Amino acid sequence: EECAIREVREETGIEICNVRYVGSQNWPFPAQLMAGFVADYAAGEIVVDTAELEDARWFPIEALPALPPSRSIARWIIDNFK
């Protein structure tokens, strides 16, 4: 959880809390794993670290852009968001 908190802060400027691990899956790059976490927003405004991310934005759940494939951990998190 500490790593997720640090990475979100470093890459987006956002502070999160109440981090929960939800699962993982193989990543298409050799010997890598995608770990899925959910967390609660705590504070901050989005400031993207462009060396790490192309973009970061907030979306209402009903206005999400194209969704990842149904077999992905990212899609599972979105589908189970409450």
Name the pLDDT band for 8 (thresholds 50, 70, 90): very high
Do residues 45 and 80 lie in contact, with contact meaning Cβ atoms separated by under 8 Å? Answer: no
Cα-based torsion angle of the residue sequence 32, 38, 18, 62 in order, rounded to the nearest 10 degrees: 160
SS3 content of the chain, % helix, strand, coil (to 5): 25, 30, 45
pLDDT the model gives residue 82: 60
Domains and their CATH numbers in the chain: 2-79 (3.90.79.10)
Q: pTM for the complete prediction?
A: 0.82
User: How many C-beta atoms surround the C-beta of residue 73 within 10 A?
Assistant: 19
pLDDT the model gives residue 16: 98
Mean pLDDT of 70-82: 85
Cα-based torsion angle of the residue sequence 44, 4, 78, 68 in order, rounded to the nearest 10 degrees: 110
How confident is the model over 14-60, as pLDDT tens digits? 999 999 999 998 877 778 888 999 999 999 999 999 999 999 999 99
